[in-house]
């Protein structure tokens, strides 16, 4: 029972992290008809906040100021601040989606570029204020068209780092005595401190830039200023490791293939590395997050390239064993966690407490819990404990394995609502309250290796030797430690699986 409770607690924490990231969790409570949300040292409230996005919408209004917003609304749409152009697009989207909806009923719909930009900025401001400090300079720079683009991307980077589990410390902009980075970040995973720089390519007519401070919109080489941005970032003094983010602000040419800028970017980074000054090594992340270019689109590719500038074993092509690849990933785990957060950006919490939206209905079944099943036995029904569950999406139903109090085992079907199916598609491995392999299509040998290692790292050395007692290498295994044996066994299992079932995958992921 204790083990089951621990698994359920771990799954609940994992679900919260998936929604809210690894930073400070949402602090909220509902009293009567009012929702209260703590942000930093402030307590906000409203009777209208049914979802976290409702809260973010009002939070943005508070941060920008009603007077400023009203002045912007008096302008022609094309002359408004980019944030207010996004606001207009969001309002139109909401108006269309709400047609025919019952008042007070929460409806979900696909996010488009406008929602990602507007709500993403609101969420990043919230994360910064809730986890670190939202200095007034950020708001002033955000509202200033000349400084908006740089501030917008800095906020994206700050949000990515906070969700990835970094603690941020903002630098004092009032100190003009020396150049300095925007902020520093300390990893929750490794304890390593990094100095952070964020740059974005300026393009005429995009994000408030004009022909005087942006390249022509027809310029097809998005990497042309990459080295310039990199040099500018490296000129800032850094007393620890560096994290440098550069966004190319480019169109998406082909979302299903390698970005057209990828090889050019690598060549420019390689050239810079050959002429690198001492102490200028850095984890570089070249991104293209062009949501602002596609305000009406609901499917927008996220593109990113990680590069170890002066770091020979981070994100550099090489043929390595799974074990070597795994150990290098652990060595540079901060960089890998950042890349994961970039690929997922943006993620908005579905609920205030980290639960599933559909949990509120009381219809969700959780493994390990007992329920009264009214369709079993004599009225009023039979009490049974859920031991396993899976979803058949085609039939919109859950198949639930149940053990009754008298020891009978059976499988029941439960119809799922649209909201339940939405939650299952978002969190298939956590939907039933314990982490499972549901929805886990593993297409990378390293991913399978890590999945297997979670289990076999707990096996005894003797058991592992027994597992590997057959084969030409059995004699040499006795000199290996338990962790070495576990890694070797998982490597063999993973490679054997792909050799037998998906050899083409090994060609895409050479080891």
The proportion of the chain whose per-residue pLDDT surpasses 70, expressed as a percent, equals 90
In order of 311, 418, 421, 432, the CA distances from 395 in angstroms are 51, 12, 11, 18
pLDDT at 442: 62
Residue 289 tokens read as: 């997050």
Calpha distance 93→109 (Å, rounded)? 10
Q: Does the pLDDT of residue 37 top 90, yes or no?
A: yes
Whole-number Å distance between alpha carbons of 372 and 125: 45
pLDDT for position 233 = 93
Range in 102-106, 238-242, 422-426 the model is least confident about: 102-106
Helix axes 322-331, 333-344, angle to 10 degrees: 90
In contact, 194 and 334? CB cutoff 8 Å: yes
What digits encode the pLDDT tens for the residues 125-140?
999 999 988 778 889 9
pLDDT(177) > 60 = no
Question: What's residue 435's pLDDT?
Answer: 80
> pTM of the prediction?
0.90
Q: Is 302 left (phi over 0), alpha (psi -120 to 50) or beta?
A: beta
Q: State mean pLDDT over 288-313.
A: 95
3-state helix, strand, coil in the chain (%, to 5): 40, 15, 40
Is residue 511 pLDDT above 50, yes or no? no
Q: Report d(CA 289, CA 148) in Å as an integer.
A: 16
CB 51 within 8 A of CB 35: no
Q: What pLDDT, on a 0 to 100 scale, did the predictor assign at position 374?
A: 78
pLDDT (tens digit per residue) in 444-491: 889 888 888 988 898 999 999 888 887 655 667 888 999 999 999 899
Q: What is the mean pLDDT of residues 165-181?
A: 70
Pairwise pLDDT comparison (254 vs 194), residue with the higher score = 194
Burial environment of residue 196 by CB neighbours within 10 A (0 to 12, 13 to 18, 19 or more): buried
Residue-level pLDDT at 95 = 81
Does residue 396 register a pLDDT over 80? yes
> Average pLDDT of 22-45?
94
Cα–Cα distance measured from residue 22 to residue 101, given in angstroms and rounded to the nearest whole number: 35
Q: Give the three-state DSSP class for 198.
A: strand
CA 459 to chain CA centroid, nearest Å = 32
Q: How far apart are CA 135 and CA 157, in angstroms?
A: 16
Q: Is the pLDDT of residue 103 over 60?
A: no
Is residue 492 scored above 80 in pLDDT?
yes
Whole-angstrom Cα Rg for the chain: 26
Whether residue 75 has pLDDT greater than 70: yes
The per-residue pLDDT for 253 is: 85
State the pLDDT confidence band at 179, using cuts at 50, 70 and 90: low
Residue 359 carries which DSSP code? G
Beta bridge partners, 400, equal 389, 412
Between residues 374 and 189, the one the model is more confident about: 189
Q: Return the pLDDT at 120.
A: 97
**Given CA atoms 49, 431, 346, 109 in this order, what sign does their dihedral have?**
negative
Q: Quick one: pLDDT at residue 105?
A: 59
242 pLDDT band (50/70/90 cuts)? very high
How confident is the model at residue 504, as a pLDDT? Answer: 64
Whether pLDDT at 235 is above 80: yes
Which pLDDT score is estimated for 173? Answer: 58
pLDDT digits over 300-310, tens only? 999 999 999 99
Q: How many helices (H) and strands (E) does the chain have?
A: 16, 13
Q: Residue 180 CA to chain centroid, in angstroms?
A: 28
Nearest partner of 311 among 334, 288, 345, 340, judged by Cα: 334
Distance separating alpha carbons of residues 215 and 402, to the nearest angstrom: 64
Residue 78: φ, ψ to 5°: -70, -20
What is d(CA 83, CA 72) in angstroms, rounded to the nearest whole number?
Answer: 10
pLDDT at 474: 60
176 pLDDT above the threshold of 60: no
Residue 226 has a pLDDT of 95
What are the start-end ranges of the H helices in 51-135? 52-64, 66-73, 82-97, 113-131
382-392 vs 303-309, strand pairing mode: unpaired
């Amino acid at each position: 029972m204790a083990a089951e409770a621990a698994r359920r607690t771990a799954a609940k924490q994992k679900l919260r992290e998936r929604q809210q990231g690894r930073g400070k969790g949402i602090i909220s409570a509902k009293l009567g008809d009012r929702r209260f949300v703590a942000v930093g040292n402030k307590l906000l409230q409203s009777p209208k906040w049914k979802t976290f996005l409702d809260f973010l919408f009002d939070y943005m209004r508070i941060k920008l100021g009603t007077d400023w917003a009203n002045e912007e609304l008096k302008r022609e749409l094309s002359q408004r601040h980019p944030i207010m152009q996004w606001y207009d697009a969001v309002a139109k989207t909401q108006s269309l989606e709400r047609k025919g909806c019952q008042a007070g009923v929460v409806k979900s719909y696909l996010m488009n570029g406008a929602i990602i930009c507007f709500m993403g900025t609101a969420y990043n401001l919230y994360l910064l204020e809730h986890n670190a400090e939202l200095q007034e300079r950020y708001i002033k720079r955000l509202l200033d068209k000349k400084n908006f683009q740089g501030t917008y991307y800095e906020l994206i980077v700050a949000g990515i780092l906070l969700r990835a589990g970094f603690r941020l410390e903002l630098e004092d902009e009032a100190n003009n005595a020396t150049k300095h980075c925007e902020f520093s970040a300390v990893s929750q995973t490794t304890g390593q401190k990094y100095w952070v720089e964020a740059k974005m390519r300026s393009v005429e007519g995009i994000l408030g830039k004009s022909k005087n401070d942006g390249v022509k919109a027809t310029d097809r080489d998005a990497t042309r200023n990459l080295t310039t941005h990199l040099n500018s970032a490296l000129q800032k003094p850094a007393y620890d490791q560096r994290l440098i983010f550069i966004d190319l602000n480019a169109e998406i040419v082909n979302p299903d293939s390698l970005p057209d800028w990828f090889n050019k970017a690598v060549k420019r980074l390689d050239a810079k590395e050959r002429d690198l000054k001492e102490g200028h090594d850095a984890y570089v992340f070249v991104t293209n997050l062009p949501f602002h270019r596609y305000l009406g689109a609901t499917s927008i590719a996220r593109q990113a390239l990680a590069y170890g500038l002066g770091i020979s074993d981070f994100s550099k092509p090489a043929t390595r064993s799974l074990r070597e690849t795994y150990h290098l990933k652990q060595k540079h785990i901060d960089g890998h966690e950042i890349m994961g957060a970039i690929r997922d950006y943006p993620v908005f919490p579905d609920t205030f407490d980290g639960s599933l939206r559909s949990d509120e209905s009381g219809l969700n079944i959780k493994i390990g819990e007992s329920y009264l099943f009214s369709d079993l036995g004599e009225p009023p029904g039979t009490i049974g404990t859920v031991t396993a569950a899976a979803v058949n999406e085609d039939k919109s139903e859950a198949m639930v394995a149940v053990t009754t109090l008298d020891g009978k085992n059976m499988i029941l079907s439960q119809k799922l609502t649209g909201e339940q199916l939405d939650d299952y598609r978002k969190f298939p491995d956590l939907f039933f309250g314990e982490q499972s392999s549901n929805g886990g299509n593993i297409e990378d040998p390293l991913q399978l290796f890590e999945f297997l290692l979670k289990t076999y790292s707990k096996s005894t050395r003797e058991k592992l030797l027994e597992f590997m007692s057959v084969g030409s290498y059995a004699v040499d295994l006795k000199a290996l430690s338990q962790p070495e044996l576990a890694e070797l066994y998982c490597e063999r299992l993973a490679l054997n699986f792909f050799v037998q079932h998906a050899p083409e995958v090994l060609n895409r992921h050479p080891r």
